[in-house]
Structure 1
Amino acid sequence: MDGRVIAVLLALILCALLVIIVLMVRRRSAGPAPEAAAPAPRDPFAAEDQVGGDPRTIKAGDMVEYLGVRYFVRGSLRLREGGFTWSEHLLDADTIEGTKVWISVEEDPDLEVVWWTEQDVGDLTPDRKTLTLDGVEYRRDEHGTADYASEGTTGAGDKGRVEYVDYEAPGGRYLSFERFGGGAWEAGTGERVPNGTLTIYPGS
Protein backbone atom coordinates (compact mmCIF):
# COMPACT_ATOMS: atom_id res chain seq x y z
CA MET A 1 0.00 0.00 0.00
CA ASP A 2 1.30 3.44 -0.84
CA GLY A 3 2.76 5.29 2.12
CA ARG A 4 0.68 8.37 1.40
CA VAL A 5 -2.54 6.38 1.56
CA ILE A 6 -1.53 4.93 4.93
CA ALA A 7 -0.73 8.43 6.22
CA VAL A 8 -4.17 9.71 5.12
CA LEU A 9 -5.93 6.79 6.83
CA LEU A 10 -4.00 7.36 10.07
CA ALA A 11 -4.88 11.06 9.94
CA LEU A 12 -8.59 10.25 9.54
CA ILE A 13 -8.52 7.78 12.42
CA LEU A 14 -6.77 10.36 14.61
CA CYS A 15 -9.39 13.00 13.76
CA ALA A 16 -12.20 10.59 14.63
CA LEU A 17 -10.59 9.82 17.99
CA LEU A 18 -10.23 13.53 18.74
CA VAL A 19 -13.94 14.13 17.97
CA ILE A 20 -14.98 11.27 20.28
CA ILE A 21 -12.75 12.60 23.10
CA VAL A 22 -14.16 16.13 22.74
CA LEU A 23 -17.78 14.86 22.88
CA MET A 24 -17.10 12.80 26.01
CA VAL A 25 -15.46 15.76 27.77
CA ARG A 26 -18.43 18.00 26.94
CA ARG A 27 -20.93 15.47 28.32
CA ARG A 28 -19.04 15.19 31.61
CA SER A 29 -18.73 18.95 32.02
CA ALA A 30 -22.45 19.51 31.32
CA GLY A 31 -23.41 17.86 34.64
CA PRO A 32 -26.66 16.04 35.44
CA ALA A 33 -29.83 16.89 33.58
CA PRO A 34 -31.86 19.62 35.29
CA GLU A 35 -34.73 18.40 37.46
CA ALA A 36 -38.29 18.99 36.29
CA ALA A 37 -39.89 22.09 37.74
CA ALA A 38 -42.02 21.45 40.83
CA PRO A 39 -45.77 21.61 40.11
CA ALA A 40 -47.41 24.91 40.98
CA PRO A 41 -49.48 25.01 44.19
CA ARG A 42 -53.16 24.33 43.56
CA ASP A 43 -56.47 24.18 45.40
CA PRO A 44 -57.08 20.58 46.61
CA PHE A 45 -60.84 21.21 46.48
CA ALA A 46 -60.87 22.56 42.93
CA ALA A 47 -63.68 21.34 40.70
CA GLU A 48 -61.40 19.19 38.54
CA ASP A 49 -60.89 16.90 41.55
CA GLN A 50 -64.58 16.03 41.57
CA VAL A 51 -65.11 12.43 40.52
CA GLY A 52 -66.86 12.24 37.16
CA GLY A 53 -67.37 15.91 36.39
CA ASP A 54 -68.03 19.42 37.64
CA PRO A 55 -71.26 19.81 39.70
CA ARG A 56 -71.61 23.35 38.36
CA THR A 57 -72.45 21.89 34.92
CA ILE A 58 -75.35 19.65 36.08
CA LYS A 59 -78.47 20.04 33.94
CA ALA A 60 -81.75 18.28 33.14
CA GLY A 61 -81.13 14.93 31.44
CA ASP A 62 -77.87 14.21 33.26
CA MET A 63 -77.46 11.27 35.64
CA VAL A 64 -75.75 11.54 39.02
CA GLU A 65 -74.53 8.79 41.32
CA TYR A 66 -74.30 9.26 45.09
CA LEU A 67 -73.78 6.61 47.78
CA GLY A 68 -74.12 3.86 45.17
CA VAL A 69 -77.50 5.02 43.82
CA ARG A 70 -78.02 6.63 40.41
CA TYR A 71 -80.60 9.34 39.77
CA PHE A 72 -81.71 11.20 36.66
CA VAL A 73 -81.82 15.01 36.83
CA ARG A 74 -85.40 15.95 35.98
CA GLY A 75 -85.00 19.72 36.09
CA SER A 76 -83.06 22.66 37.45
CA LEU A 77 -83.75 25.99 39.10
CA ARG A 78 -81.25 28.76 38.35
CA LEU A 79 -81.47 31.30 41.16
CA ARG A 80 -80.13 34.82 41.46
CA GLU A 81 -80.12 37.26 44.36
CA GLY A 82 -78.23 40.42 43.54
CA GLY A 83 -74.86 39.30 42.15
CA PHE A 84 -75.04 35.87 43.81
CA THR A 85 -76.18 32.81 41.83
CA TRP A 86 -76.74 29.15 42.64
CA SER A 87 -78.60 26.11 41.28
CA GLU A 88 -81.01 23.50 42.63
CA HIS A 89 -81.58 20.25 40.72
CA LEU A 90 -84.62 17.97 41.14
CA LEU A 91 -83.81 14.24 40.91
CA ASP A 92 -86.01 11.27 40.19
CA ALA A 93 -86.26 9.55 43.58
CA ASP A 94 -87.57 6.06 42.76
CA THR A 95 -86.01 4.75 45.97
CA ILE A 96 -87.92 7.26 48.14
CA GLU A 97 -91.55 7.02 47.12
CA GLY A 98 -93.36 10.36 47.00
CA THR A 99 -90.41 12.32 48.42
CA LYS A 100 -88.51 14.98 46.49
CA VAL A 101 -84.73 14.82 46.40
CA TRP A 102 -82.63 17.80 45.34
CA ILE A 103 -78.99 18.77 44.91
CA SER A 104 -77.96 22.39 45.43
CA VAL A 105 -74.71 23.74 44.00
CA GLU A 106 -73.22 27.08 44.98
CA GLU A 107 -69.90 28.89 45.41
CA ASP A 108 -69.61 31.08 48.50
CA PRO A 109 -66.67 31.35 47.78
CA ASP A 110 -65.79 27.62 47.88
CA LEU A 111 -67.82 25.11 45.90
CA GLU A 112 -70.50 23.56 48.13
CA VAL A 113 -72.82 20.72 47.09
CA VAL A 114 -75.70 19.76 49.41
CA TRP A 115 -78.02 16.74 49.14
CA TRP A 116 -81.58 17.66 50.11
CA THR A 117 -84.53 15.45 51.08
CA GLU A 118 -88.05 16.86 51.35
CA GLN A 119 -89.46 16.74 54.90
CA ASP A 120 -92.93 16.94 56.40
CA VAL A 121 -92.29 19.31 59.32
CA GLY A 122 -95.91 19.69 60.39
CA ASP A 123 -96.62 23.14 61.82
CA LEU A 124 -92.94 24.09 62.01
CA THR A 125 -92.26 27.41 60.28
CA PRO A 126 -89.07 29.50 59.95
CA ASP A 127 -90.13 32.19 62.39
CA ARG A 128 -87.43 31.69 65.05
CA LYS A 129 -83.64 31.92 65.23
CA THR A 130 -83.36 28.28 66.26
CA LEU A 131 -85.52 25.30 65.32
CA THR A 132 -85.39 21.69 66.53
CA LEU A 133 -86.31 18.85 64.17
CA ASP A 134 -85.87 15.15 64.98
CA GLY A 135 -83.73 16.04 67.98
CA VAL A 136 -81.33 18.26 65.99
CA GLU A 137 -81.12 21.97 66.80
CA TYR A 138 -80.66 24.20 63.76
CA ARG A 139 -79.62 27.84 63.90
CA ARG A 140 -80.80 30.36 61.28
CA ASP A 141 -78.06 31.25 58.82
CA GLU A 142 -79.64 33.12 55.87
CA HIS A 143 -82.96 34.63 54.83
CA GLY A 144 -83.73 36.28 51.50
CA THR A 145 -85.69 36.36 48.25
CA ALA A 146 -84.30 35.29 44.89
CA ASP A 147 -85.41 35.33 41.27
CA TYR A 148 -85.46 31.95 39.56
CA ALA A 149 -85.68 30.45 36.09
CA SER A 150 -86.84 26.85 35.67
CA GLU A 151 -85.45 24.24 33.26
CA GLY A 152 -87.07 20.86 32.63
CA THR A 153 -89.44 19.56 35.32
CA THR A 154 -89.20 21.30 38.71
CA GLY A 155 -92.76 21.81 39.92
CA ALA A 156 -92.24 25.59 39.78
CA GLY A 157 -93.24 28.06 37.09
CA ASP A 158 -90.94 29.02 34.25
CA LYS A 159 -89.88 32.15 36.15
CA GLY A 160 -90.70 33.78 39.46
CA ARG A 161 -89.52 34.64 42.93
CA VAL A 162 -88.81 32.40 45.88
CA GLU A 163 -88.36 33.30 49.54
CA TYR A 164 -85.96 31.10 51.48
CA VAL A 165 -84.79 30.67 55.07
CA ASP A 166 -81.74 28.50 55.70
CA TYR A 167 -80.73 26.92 59.01
CA GLU A 168 -77.51 25.10 59.85
CA ALA A 169 -76.47 22.53 62.47
CA PRO A 170 -73.03 21.12 63.35
CA GLY A 171 -71.59 18.39 61.15
CA GLY A 172 -72.61 19.84 57.80
CA ARG A 173 -76.38 19.44 58.35
CA TYR A 174 -78.97 21.88 57.05
CA LEU A 175 -82.67 22.70 57.26
CA SER A 176 -84.16 24.91 54.56
CA PHE A 177 -87.57 26.46 53.93
CA GLU A 178 -88.73 27.80 50.55
CA ARG A 179 -91.99 29.26 49.30
CA PHE A 180 -92.67 30.17 45.71
CA GLY A 181 -94.77 33.19 44.86
CA GLY A 182 -95.90 33.63 48.46
CA GLY A 183 -97.36 30.12 48.70
CA ALA A 184 -96.95 27.55 51.47
CA TRP A 185 -93.57 26.78 52.97
CA GLU A 186 -91.76 23.68 51.69
CA ALA A 187 -89.05 22.21 53.92
CA GLY A 188 -86.10 19.92 53.42
CA THR A 189 -83.10 18.67 55.36
CA GLY A 190 -79.68 18.59 53.78
CA GLU A 191 -76.24 17.15 54.22
CA ARG A 192 -73.03 18.34 52.63
CA VAL A 193 -71.76 16.07 49.86
CA PRO A 194 -68.08 15.23 50.52
CA ASN A 195 -65.68 16.20 47.78
CA GLY A 196 -65.21 13.45 45.19
CA THR A 197 -68.24 11.32 46.18
CA LEU A 198 -70.62 12.53 43.44
CA THR A 199 -70.29 11.10 39.93
CA ILE A 200 -71.93 12.94 37.04
CA TYR A 201 -72.92 11.25 33.78
CA PRO A 202 -73.76 13.95 31.20
CA GLY A 203 -76.95 13.47 29.23
CA SER A 204 -77.16 13.65 25.45
Structure 2
Amino acid sequence: MSMTSVVVLGLSIATVVLLLGAFFATMRQDRKTERRRATAPPPALVEVPMQERVSAAGHVGSDYADPRTIKVGDRIEVHGAGSRVLGAMHVSCQGQQWTEYLLDDGSRRYKWLSVEVRLGLATGDPPHLEVLLWNDVPTQGMVPAKSMLIMEGVEFFPIDRGTAAFKSEGDTGHPDRGLLDFADYRAADGRLLSFERVHGTMWTAAYAQPLPPGSITIIST
Protein backbone atom coordinates (compact mmCIF):
# COMPACT_ATOMS: atom_id res chain seq x y z
CA MET A 1 0.00 0.00 0.00
CA SER A 2 1.39 3.41 -0.95
CA MET A 3 2.06 6.16 1.49
CA THR A 4 -0.77 8.27 -0.02
CA SER A 5 -3.31 5.49 0.53
CA VAL A 6 -2.18 5.09 4.14
CA VAL A 7 -2.61 8.82 4.77
CA VAL A 8 -6.08 8.86 3.16
CA LEU A 9 -7.15 5.81 5.14
CA GLY A 10 -5.89 7.35 8.36
CA LEU A 11 -7.77 10.58 7.72
CA SER A 12 -10.97 8.66 6.95
CA ILE A 13 -10.72 6.66 10.17
CA ALA A 14 -10.07 9.83 12.17
CA THR A 15 -13.14 11.50 10.59
CA VAL A 16 -15.33 8.52 11.43
CA VAL A 17 -14.06 8.53 15.03
CA LEU A 18 -14.79 12.23 15.39
CA LEU A 19 -18.29 11.84 13.97
CA LEU A 20 -19.04 8.91 16.28
CA GLY A 21 -17.74 10.87 19.24
CA ALA A 22 -19.91 13.83 18.40
CA PHE A 23 -22.92 11.52 17.95
CA PHE A 24 -22.49 9.83 21.35
CA ALA A 25 -21.87 13.16 23.04
CA THR A 26 -25.10 14.47 21.58
CA MET A 27 -26.95 11.37 22.76
CA ARG A 28 -25.62 11.82 26.30
CA GLN A 29 -26.61 15.46 26.30
CA ASP A 30 -30.15 14.60 25.11
CA ARG A 31 -30.48 11.97 27.88
CA LYS A 32 -29.34 14.50 30.48
CA THR A 33 -31.86 17.00 29.15
CA GLU A 34 -34.67 14.44 29.29
CA ARG A 35 -33.70 13.50 32.85
CA ARG A 36 -33.74 17.13 33.89
CA ARG A 37 -37.18 17.58 32.32
CA ALA A 38 -38.47 14.46 34.06
CA THR A 39 -37.19 15.48 37.49
CA ALA A 40 -37.72 19.23 37.30
CA PRO A 41 -40.84 20.50 39.12
CA PRO A 42 -43.71 21.71 36.92
CA PRO A 43 -43.70 25.42 36.19
CA ALA A 44 -45.60 27.48 38.72
CA LEU A 45 -49.06 28.59 37.63
CA VAL A 46 -49.24 32.33 37.21
CA GLU A 47 -52.44 33.70 38.65
CA VAL A 48 -53.94 36.19 36.25
CA PRO A 49 -55.72 38.92 38.16
CA MET A 50 -59.44 39.21 37.48
CA GLN A 51 -60.56 42.21 35.56
CA GLU A 52 -61.74 44.91 37.89
CA ARG A 53 -65.46 45.32 37.81
CA VAL A 54 -66.74 48.41 36.11
CA SER A 55 -68.83 50.69 38.24
CA ALA A 56 -72.49 49.79 38.01
CA ALA A 57 -73.32 53.41 37.33
CA GLY A 58 -70.99 53.75 34.32
CA HIS A 59 -71.07 57.44 33.35
CA VAL A 60 -74.04 58.10 35.63
CA GLY A 61 -73.74 61.49 37.28
CA SER A 62 -71.56 63.02 34.57
CA ASP A 63 -73.18 62.14 31.25
CA TYR A 64 -76.72 61.71 32.56
CA ALA A 65 -78.72 61.74 35.77
CA ASP A 66 -78.44 58.84 38.18
CA PRO A 67 -81.94 57.33 38.64
CA ARG A 68 -80.88 56.07 42.09
CA THR A 69 -80.87 59.67 43.33
CA ILE A 70 -84.59 60.15 42.62
CA LYS A 71 -86.51 61.15 45.76
CA VAL A 72 -90.17 61.32 46.67
CA GLY A 73 -91.52 64.71 45.58
CA ASP A 74 -89.11 65.09 42.67
CA ARG A 75 -90.35 66.13 39.28
CA ILE A 76 -88.73 64.10 36.53
CA GLU A 77 -89.01 63.60 32.80
CA VAL A 78 -89.06 60.17 31.20
CA HIS A 79 -88.46 60.39 27.46
CA GLY A 80 -89.46 64.05 27.72
CA ALA A 81 -92.77 63.38 29.48
CA GLY A 82 -93.04 65.06 32.88
CA SER A 83 -94.08 63.15 36.00
CA ARG A 84 -94.22 63.72 39.74
CA VAL A 85 -92.75 61.09 42.06
CA LEU A 86 -95.57 60.38 44.50
CA GLY A 87 -93.95 57.61 46.51
CA ALA A 88 -91.35 54.87 46.60
CA MET A 89 -91.18 51.26 47.73
CA HIS A 90 -87.77 50.06 48.84
CA VAL A 91 -87.77 46.31 48.28
CA SER A 92 -85.34 43.61 49.47
CA CYS A 93 -85.28 39.91 48.62
CA GLN A 94 -82.45 37.48 49.44
CA GLY A 95 -79.78 40.17 49.47
CA GLN A 96 -81.00 41.86 46.28
CA GLN A 97 -82.46 45.34 46.62
CA TRP A 98 -84.35 47.62 44.29
CA THR A 99 -86.64 50.66 44.42
CA GLU A 100 -90.02 51.12 42.76
CA TYR A 101 -91.19 54.73 42.26
CA LEU A 102 -94.85 55.61 41.73
CA LEU A 103 -95.18 58.27 39.02
CA ASP A 104 -98.07 60.59 38.22
CA ASP A 105 -97.90 62.10 34.75
CA GLY A 106 -101.17 63.99 35.13
CA SER A 107 -103.23 61.47 33.18
CA ARG A 108 -104.47 59.70 36.32
CA ARG A 109 -102.85 56.53 34.99
CA TYR A 110 -100.08 55.93 37.46
CA LYS A 111 -96.92 54.13 36.39
CA TRP A 112 -94.14 52.46 38.33
CA LEU A 113 -90.46 53.03 37.65
CA SER A 114 -88.10 50.36 39.03
CA VAL A 115 -84.38 50.95 39.53
CA GLU A 116 -82.07 48.06 40.36
CA VAL A 117 -78.39 47.16 40.15
CA ARG A 118 -78.32 43.66 38.72
CA LEU A 119 -75.47 41.18 38.53
CA GLY A 120 -73.97 40.22 35.17
CA LEU A 121 -75.54 37.39 33.20
CA ALA A 122 -72.30 35.40 33.10
CA THR A 123 -69.59 34.84 35.68
CA GLY A 124 -67.17 37.75 35.67
CA ASP A 125 -69.57 40.16 33.97
CA PRO A 126 -69.80 43.52 35.74
CA PRO A 127 -73.08 44.57 37.36
CA HIS A 128 -75.34 46.89 35.44
CA LEU A 129 -78.05 49.38 36.25
CA GLU A 130 -81.50 48.25 35.12
CA VAL A 131 -84.24 50.87 34.83
CA LEU A 132 -87.72 49.71 33.83
CA LEU A 133 -90.93 51.66 33.23
CA TRP A 134 -93.99 49.53 34.04
CA ASN A 135 -97.42 49.87 32.41
CA ASP A 136 -100.39 48.13 33.98
CA VAL A 137 -102.25 45.47 32.01
CA PRO A 138 -105.68 44.06 32.87
CA THR A 139 -105.38 40.71 34.60
CA GLN A 140 -109.12 39.97 34.91
CA GLY A 141 -108.58 37.85 38.00
CA MET A 142 -105.55 36.00 36.61
CA VAL A 143 -102.99 34.51 38.99
CA PRO A 144 -99.32 33.89 38.08
CA ALA A 145 -98.79 30.30 36.97
CA LYS A 146 -95.61 28.36 37.68
CA SER A 147 -95.41 27.42 34.00
CA MET A 148 -95.96 29.28 30.75
CA LEU A 149 -98.92 31.64 30.59
CA ILE A 150 -100.52 33.58 27.76
CA MET A 151 -101.23 37.28 28.14
CA GLU A 152 -102.95 39.10 25.26
CA GLY A 153 -101.99 36.30 22.89
CA VAL A 154 -98.27 36.29 23.83
CA GLU A 155 -96.57 33.36 25.55
CA PHE A 156 -94.59 34.29 28.66
CA PHE A 157 -92.25 31.92 30.49
CA PRO A 158 -91.38 32.16 34.22
CA ILE A 159 -87.92 33.49 35.11
CA ASP A 160 -88.19 34.40 38.82
CA ARG A 161 -90.66 34.45 41.70
CA GLY A 162 -90.58 34.89 45.43
CA THR A 163 -91.55 37.02 48.40
CA ALA A 164 -89.81 40.27 49.28
CA ALA A 165 -89.94 42.71 52.18
CA PHE A 166 -90.71 46.34 51.43
CA LYS A 167 -90.73 49.73 53.13
CA SER A 168 -92.91 52.48 51.72
CA GLU A 169 -92.13 56.17 51.50
CA GLY A 170 -94.60 58.84 50.48
CA ASP A 171 -97.87 57.93 48.75
CA THR A 172 -97.82 54.38 47.32
CA GLY A 173 -101.25 53.09 48.30
CA HIS A 174 -99.55 50.39 50.40
CA PRO A 175 -98.69 50.03 54.10
CA ASP A 176 -95.49 51.51 55.51
CA ARG A 177 -94.00 48.01 55.73
CA GLY A 178 -95.00 44.60 54.55
CA LEU A 179 -94.40 41.62 52.31
CA LEU A 180 -94.69 41.55 48.55
CA ASP A 181 -95.15 38.46 46.36
CA PHE A 182 -93.82 38.69 42.82
CA ALA A 183 -93.62 36.50 39.72
CA ASP A 184 -91.61 37.58 36.67
CA TYR A 185 -91.95 36.29 33.11
CA ARG A 186 -90.23 36.84 29.78
CA ALA A 187 -91.50 36.34 26.23
CA ALA A 188 -89.45 34.95 23.36
CA ASP A 189 -89.06 38.49 21.94
CA GLY A 190 -87.65 39.77 25.26
CA ARG A 191 -90.77 41.43 26.63
CA LEU A 192 -91.13 41.34 30.40
CA LEU A 193 -94.27 40.72 32.42
CA SER A 194 -94.50 40.89 36.20
CA PHE A 195 -97.21 40.03 38.72
CA GLU A 196 -97.12 41.62 42.16
CA ARG A 197 -99.29 41.29 45.23
CA VAL A 198 -98.90 43.01 48.56
CA HIS A 199 -100.12 40.57 51.20
CA GLY A 200 -103.85 41.04 51.68
CA THR A 201 -104.47 42.48 48.19
CA MET A 202 -105.20 41.12 44.70
CA TRP A 203 -102.60 40.34 42.06
CA THR A 204 -101.74 43.12 39.60
CA ALA A 205 -99.74 42.77 36.40
CA ALA A 206 -97.61 45.11 34.29
CA TYR A 207 -95.42 45.07 31.21
CA ALA A 208 -91.88 46.43 31.46
CA GLN A 209 -90.23 48.86 29.10
CA PRO A 210 -86.42 49.01 29.56
CA LEU A 211 -85.09 52.56 29.55
CA PRO A 212 -81.67 53.28 28.02
CA PRO A 213 -79.19 55.54 29.84
CA GLY A 214 -80.11 59.20 29.64
CA SER A 215 -83.87 58.59 29.37
CA ILE A 216 -84.55 60.24 32.74
CA THR A 217 -84.04 63.88 33.63
CA ILE A 218 -84.46 65.11 37.20
CA ILE A 219 -85.99 68.56 36.87
CA SER A 220 -86.51 69.63 40.47
CA THR A 221 -86.48 68.31 44.02
Give yes or no for TM over 0.5.
yes
For the structure 1 residues 43 and 150, does the alpha-carbon distance in structure 2 shift closer, same or farther, using more than 3 Å as the test?
closer
Runs of 4+ in 1 over 3 A off after TM superposition: 41-45, 49-52
1:103 maps onto 2:113 in alignment: yes
Deviation at 1:106, TM superposition (A): 0.6
Q: Which amino acid aligns with 1:78?
A: H
CA contact (8 A) 2:71 2:85 kept: yes
User: What's the secondary structure of 1:56's corresponding residue?
Assistant: helix
Tell me which of 132, 135, 143 is aligned to 2:161: 143
Q: Matched residues in 1 for 2:163 and 2:65: separation?
A: 30
Q: Which amino acid aligns with 2:110?
A: K
Moved more, 47-56 or 101-110: 47-56
Deviation at 1:50, TM superposition (A): 7.5
Identical-pair percentage: 36
User: What value does the CA root-mean-square deviation take over the aligned residues?
Assistant: 2.3
Q: What is the match of residue 87 of structure 1? A: 99
CA contact (8 A) 2:134 2:206 kept: yes
For the structure 1 residues 50 and 141, does the alpha-carbon distance in structure 2 shift closer, same or farther, using more than 3 Å as the test?
farther
Q: Matched residues in 2 for 1:111 and 1:137: separation?
A: 27
Deviation at 1:196, TM superposition (A): 1.8
User: What's the secondary structure of 2:60's corresponding residue?
Assistant: helix
For the structure 1 residues 50 and 112, does the alpha-carbon distance in structure 2 shift closer, same or farther, using more than 3 Å as the test?
farther
Q: Which amino acid aligns with 1:108?
A: R
1:62 maps onto 2:74 in alignment: yes
Q: Flag the structure with larger Rg.
A: 2
For the structure 1 residues 44 and 154, does the alpha-carbon distance in structure 2 shift closer, same or farther, using more than 3 Å as the test?
closer
Runs (5+) with no aligned partner, structure 2: 1-52, 120-127
Q: TM-score, normalised by structure 1?
A: 0.71
Q: What is the match of residue 118 of structure 1? A: 136
How many pairs are equivalent? 161
Tell me which of 53, 76, 89 is aligned to 1:77: 89
For the structure 1 residues 197 and 129, does the alpha-carbon distance in structure 2 shift closer, same or farther, using more than 3 Å as the test?
same
Tell me which of 50, 60, 78 is aligned to 1:48: 60
Residues 137-186 of structure 1: CA deviation (Å, up to 9, x unaligned): 22111101111100000000001111111112245421111111242111
CA contact (8 A) 1:162 1:178 kept: yes
